[in-house]
């Protein structure tokens, strides 16, 4: 379960220990389980009100992830409770919520990053294109190749720009034209023009925003299907942030993007759908409302959402 193959280490998180540091909740165990969300037939938002959870439903061929009553545990501590939701294809889905509500834990369950935490486990299911990600026989390394991740702080390898991008494909046994792949990845990450004349310089010499785009290029290079982003702009200045957001909009043509962000304006600006999580009495995060971003930020269906996004609570 916790095998961390080269590919995964390379492509996603160079220092697995940071997962523990960054995980929500104090306990070191995660487990996903739940979601009992009700969606209406039309795929719209269920009628608002009360404690009813609000959910969205997409056509079968639009669904990349389907969470079914997912709960995530660290040991006996339940960080995320009973989340059911669908992540749509070629869209940017944002996950927002107060600190400690399990946003990152939830995101990490999408590519089994939490496997790296010994005590982490889940209940319920995550289906990725219909396949149970946590079923026996599923190779977490392959999971992480298809479902890449970009982290809060840009974390290029202490290698050249070129090697940062080429590393993942090399490890994965890529046999094609590496120069072409590196250029394509850098172009897609909107970084090519900035670095084409200095590909042999260290990635760490770039600016913060450029480093984050390099990390995105590195994630793209192994041709994933999904890119998970955990607070990708929290260490960037506003201009670099807007560049990443523009890049996300371009990338969604080819990839499905899920982003966790503390920055509600970023979720409002950059995402297509938004899921709002909050914490229950037991400190486990649960889903309150998932809706088209425009609706969630102009007329949220749930009182808890309204209170959170308008700063009345949280």
Partner 1 sequence: MEPVVDDIEQRHPSPRATFDRQLDRVKDDVLRLGARVEQALERAGRALIERDPDLADKVRWEDAEVNELQRQINTEITAIIATQGPVARDVRELLALYHAAAELERMGDYAVNIAKLAQQLAAEPEMPILKQIPRMEQICREQLRSAMRALVNISEEEARKVCERDDELDHLYSSVYEDAMQLMSVAPEQARQATHMLFAAHHLERLGDRVTNIGEDVVYLATGQVEDLNP
- The span of 119-127, 168-176, 237-245, 293-301 binding partner 1 (CB under 8 A) equals 293-301
What are the φ/ψ torsions at residue 153 (nearest 5 degrees)? Answer: -100, 135
Is residue 291 close enough to count as binding partner 1 by CB under 8 A? Answer: no
Number of residues this chain uses to bind partner 1 (CB under 8 A): 13
The nearer residue to partner 1, 164 or 274, going by C-beta atoms, is 274
The nearer residue to partner 1, 149 or 233, going by C-beta atoms, is 233
Is residue 233 close enough to count as binding partner 1 by CB under 8 A? Answer: no
Is residue 299 close enough to count as binding partner 1 by CB under 8 A? Answer: yes
The nearer residue to partner 1, 79 or 291, going by C-beta atoms, is 291
What are the φ/ψ torsions at residue 179 (nearest 5 degrees)? Answer: -60, -45
Q: Which of residues 247-266 bind partner 1 (CB under 8 A)?
A: 264-265
d(CA 42, CA 44): 5
**Out of 78, 114, 297, 304, the residue judged to bind partner 1 by CB under 8 A:** 297
d(CA 28, CA 206): 34
**Out of 268, 273, 277, 304, the residue judged to bind partner 1 by CB under 8 A:** 268
Is residue 137 close enough to count as binding partner 1 by CB under 8 A? Answer: no
The nearer residue to partner 1, 167 or 308, going by C-beta atoms, is 308
CB of 297 to partner 1, least distance (A): 5
Is residue 309 close enough to count as binding partner 1 by CB under 8 A? Answer: yes
d(CA 169, CA 251): 19
CB of 293 to partner 1, least distance (A): 11
Is residue 306 close enough to count as binding partner 1 by CB under 8 A? Answer: yes
| Beta strands 92-96 and 285-292, pairing class | unpaired
Q: Which of residues 68-127 bind partner 1 (CB under 8 A)?
A: none
Is residue 207 close enough to count as binding partner 1 by CB under 8 A? Answer: no
The nearer residue to partner 1, 45 or 133, going by C-beta atoms, is 45
CB of 237 to partner 1, least distance (A): 18
Is residue 300 close enough to count as binding partner 1 by CB under 8 A? Answer: yes
Is residue 49 close enough to count as binding partner 1 by CB under 8 A? Answer: no
Structural contact between residues 292 and 300, judged by C-beta atoms closer than 8 angstroms: no
Binding site for partner 1 (CB under 8 A): 264-265, 268, 297-300, 305-306, 309-312
């Amino acid at each position: 379960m916790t095998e961390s193959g080269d590919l995964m280490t390379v492509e996603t998180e160079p220092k697995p220990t940071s997962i523990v540091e960054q995980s929500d909740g104090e306990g070191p165990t995660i487990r996903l389980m739940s979601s009992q969300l009700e969606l209406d037939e039309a795929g719209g938002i269920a009628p608002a009100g009360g404690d009813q959870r609000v959910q969205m439903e997409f056509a079968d061929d639009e669904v990349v992830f389907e969470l079914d009553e997912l709960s995530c545990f660290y040991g006996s501590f339940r960080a995320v409770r009973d989340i059911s939701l669908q992540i749509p294809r070629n869209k940017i889905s944002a996950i927002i919520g107060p600190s400690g509500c399990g946003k990152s834990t939830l995101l990490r369950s999408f590519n089994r990053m939490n496997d790296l935490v010994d005590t982490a486990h889940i209940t319920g299911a995550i289906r990725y294109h219909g396949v149970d990600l946590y079923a026996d026989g599923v190779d977490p390394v392959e999971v992480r190749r298809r479902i890449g991740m970009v982290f809060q702080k840009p974390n290029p390898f202490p290698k050249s720009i070129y090697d940062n991008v080429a590393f993942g494909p090399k490890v994965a046994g890529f046999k094609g034209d590496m120069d072409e792949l590196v250029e394509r990845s850098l172009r897609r990450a909107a970084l090519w023009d900035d670095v084409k004349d200095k590909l042999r310089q260290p990635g760490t010499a770039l600016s913060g925003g450029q480093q984050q785009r390099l990390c995105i290029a590195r994630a793209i290079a192994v041709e994933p299907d999904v890119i998970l982003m955990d607070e990708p702009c929290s260490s960037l200045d506003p201009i670099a942030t807007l560049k990443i957001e523009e890049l996300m909009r371009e990338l969604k043509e080819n990839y499905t993007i899920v982003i966790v962000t503390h920055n509600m304006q970023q979720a409002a600006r950059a995402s297509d759908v938004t899921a709002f999580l909050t914490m229950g009495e037991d400190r486990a995060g649960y889903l309150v409302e998932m809706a088209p971003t425009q609706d969630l930020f102009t007329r949220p269906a749930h009182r808890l959402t309204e209170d959170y996004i308008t700063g009345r609570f949280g």
